[in-house]
Structure 1
Amino acid sequence: MKHLFTGKKIVFITIVSSLLFVIGCGNASNNGENTEEDTRQIKTELGEVKVPKSPKRVIVQYITGDVLALGIEPVGMSEVYDSAAYEDKVKDVKDLGQWAEWDEEEMMDLDPDLILTIDKATYERFSKIAPTVYVPYGEMTTTERVTFIGDVLNKSSQAEKVLKEYNDNIIDSQKKLKDVGFDQSTVSIFEGGLKEMMVIGQKFGTGLVAYDNLKLIAPEKIQKEVLDKDEFTVSLSLEVLPEYAGDYIIRNTYDGMDNMNDSAIWKALPAIENKHLIEIPFGLSYYTDILSANAQIDFIRDQLIEKATTN
């Protein structure tokens, strides 16, 4: 087929092409400006990170409840155990499994605009997928962490509100527990079975809520060997368990756990004899985000008060 062009047609095509080129450049320029306008710099432990002003597709490790409490439903998250405080709020969120084993292709398929990681070792890899912020979870108080995440997500006002509700709950719960004698009684937190029992310290999970938030008193042995040494957990044989057992025992429970009534040592503990045992579902006790912490505060407070006033 022959293509014949007159001079006028050539001029017309040239003009149109030029206009399209200019428009294209203009759009590219505008898109670049929009990108700049829609991002901001955040200072982190690993340096400054450019993040979206209004993140909409967030992937989060472990601290999912913090993100939910600030009004954002993530698109991807770590595995959520049964009985987690926010279990019903994340039914439509992609479960990426244990956070140490995340598949990067699965993450990319979610098209995230922000990733929150508590694992420094993953920072470089995740940063190639989307802007990534490292949250030094183990080095922060709840207030520091929620304030920081609120800044990252551009939800500082919501963070202040959530923290006020959290602190009000702590103060109210401390008073209620003191009123029924928990300024005198001791509390131990155990997890494990017949072969070995783990003492939970104040650095995470139920221990953080019980000892740090509610200011419950640990037995002297736990205070010296666990809390004063900033230990997350300490493993014990059952033979020495009586030295660590308080007036009340909180035990993390899960499917398939040992029946401790098979142990004469366990049954002889004063807390067990006095029916001062509280069993908390593992999924509720495992997380220490602010949503989970509030739920644990409510659970532990109500259970301890019930035991103290009925036995």
Structure 2
Amino acid sequence: MKKLLFPFILLLVLIISACSNETSGKEESSSKKEEQPKTITYQSENGPIEVPANPKRVILLSGFTGNVIDLGVNIVGVDVWSKNNPTFKEELKDVAEVSDENLEKIIELEPDLIIGLSNIKNLDKLKEIAPTVTYTWGKADYLTQHLEIGKLLNKEKEAQAWIDDFKTRAKTAGDEIRSKIGEDTTVSVIEAYDKDLYVFGNNWARGTEILYQAMNLKMPDKVKEMALKSGYYAISAEVLPEYAGDYVILSKYADADHSFQETETYKNIPAVKNNRVFELNGKGASFSDPVTLDKQLDFFKKSFLGN
């Protein structure tokens, strides 16, 4: 009896051991799967790309900084323009400045996602460091661009919520402004940068998207003729009166040449004589993200409506 019982017990032990090992193997395999970061497939303009479902260390090489800030995603590195933008001063105080040419610095920051414009340098090398997504400047309008960033960061609902809210707020403000200044009253956006003057169309930041698209304010005919298609147009101080609307938004850089404001040509512009020139800090005005747009909307409401 003992002789018959021993092989049976041995076989039972072997079966239990095998099951235990199989279960342990499954648990270990499951554990390893859980340790791997989850990803999503983002449909970029260059095709599908696997990106983190919950990115935690994002590097921005050419703008889009305010989009990522608005969506609450952690940033570890930004381009020099973003770093020096006073609008983002508080949010970026502990964030490193990087560039597409300093790959060693980018590697040190251990990004899990890199975002930039399509003309950034070293794109192939950047892709080896982390998933890298690029956008062509101007291919999407400012609201669609934010939605795309939302999709990339797996926060599409949050991005759409801001878009809907912003459109409502901007339209309401626009209706109030047009009611106050008149439907046919024109507004120009002019910038003093270095020694040059520029006038802008309806999609070149400096508040143009808000004023012309969201608020539906009118652009002077001369501006429409020269700047609407290209986005911006360089002018001289002598012809400034031809481009000045009934109201002027003047984007000024502190270190730019402002001598044109001392000329009789400038002083005799109706908008200047009627105190209808609203000065906007040029540093940071060249962005069109939610953080910037919200602040610009408040600026325009106070400037035109006094509230």
- For Structure 1 versus Structure 2, the TM-score category normalised by the shorter chain is 0.7 to 0.9
Mark the runs of 5 or more structure 1 residues left unpaired by the alignment: 1-22
CA contact (8 A) 1:142 1:290 kept: no
Query: Could you tell me which amino acid in structure 1 is paired with residue 77 of structure 2?
Result: G
Equivalent position of 1:116 in the other structure: 115
CA contact (8 A) 1:54 1:154 kept: yes
Report SS of the residue matched to 1:88.
Answer: coil
- Which digits, 9 at most, give the CA deviation of each residue in 1:113-151, with x for residues without a partner? 001112344432321210011123411122211221111
Equivalent position of 1:270 in the other structure: 270
Matched, 1:70 2:71: yes
Query: Whole-Å Cα distance in 1 between the matches of residues 193 and 115 of structure 2?
Result: 34
Query: Whole-Å Cα distance in 2 between the matches of residues 44 and 83 of structure 1?
Result: 27
Matched, 1:287 2:287: yes
Alignment RMSD (CA, Å): 2.6
Query: Could you tell me which amino acid in structure 2 is paired with residue 131 of structure 1?
Result: P
Equivalent position of 1:44 in the other structure: 44
Matches within 5 A, 1:209-220: 209-220=210-221
- Which digits, 9 at most, give the CA deviation of each residue in 1:57-89, with x for residues without a partner? 011231111001111131111223666433222
Call closer, same or farther: CA 1:141–1:184 in 2, change over 3 Å.
same
Matches within 5 A, 1:134-173: 134-173=134-173
Query: Whole-Å Cα distance in 2 between the matches of residues 154 and 194 of structure 1?
Result: 40
Matches within 5 A, 1:191-210: 191-192=191-192, 196-206=196-206, 207-210=208-211
CA contact (8 A) 1:56 1:113 kept: yes
Report SS of the residue matched to 2:233.
Answer: strand
Query: Whole-Å Cα distance in 2 between the matches of residues 86 and 195 of structure 1?
Result: 26
The TM-score, its normalising length taken from structure 2, stands at 0.82
Indicate the percent of aligned positions where both proteins have the same amino acid: 27
Shift in Å, 1:53: 1.0
Shift in Å, 1:50: 0.7
Report SS of the residue matched to 1:216.
Answer: coil
Call closer, same or farther: CA 1:120–1:260 in 2, change over 3 Å.
closer
Equivalent position of 1:19 in the other structure: none
Equivalent position of 2:250 in the other structure: 251
How many pairs were matched up? 279
Higher relative contact order (CA 8 A, sep 6+): 1
CA contact (8 A) 2:58 2:77 kept: yes
Equivalent position of 1:300 in the other structure: 300
Report SS of the residue matched to 1:89.
Answer: coil
CA contact (8 A) 2:83 2:92 kept: no
Query: Could you tell me which amino acid in structure 1 is paired with residue 93 of structure 2?
Result: K
**4+ residue runs of structure 1 moved beyond 6 angstroms?**
26-29
Query: Could you tell me which amino acid in structure 2 is paired with residue 219 of structure 1?
Result: P
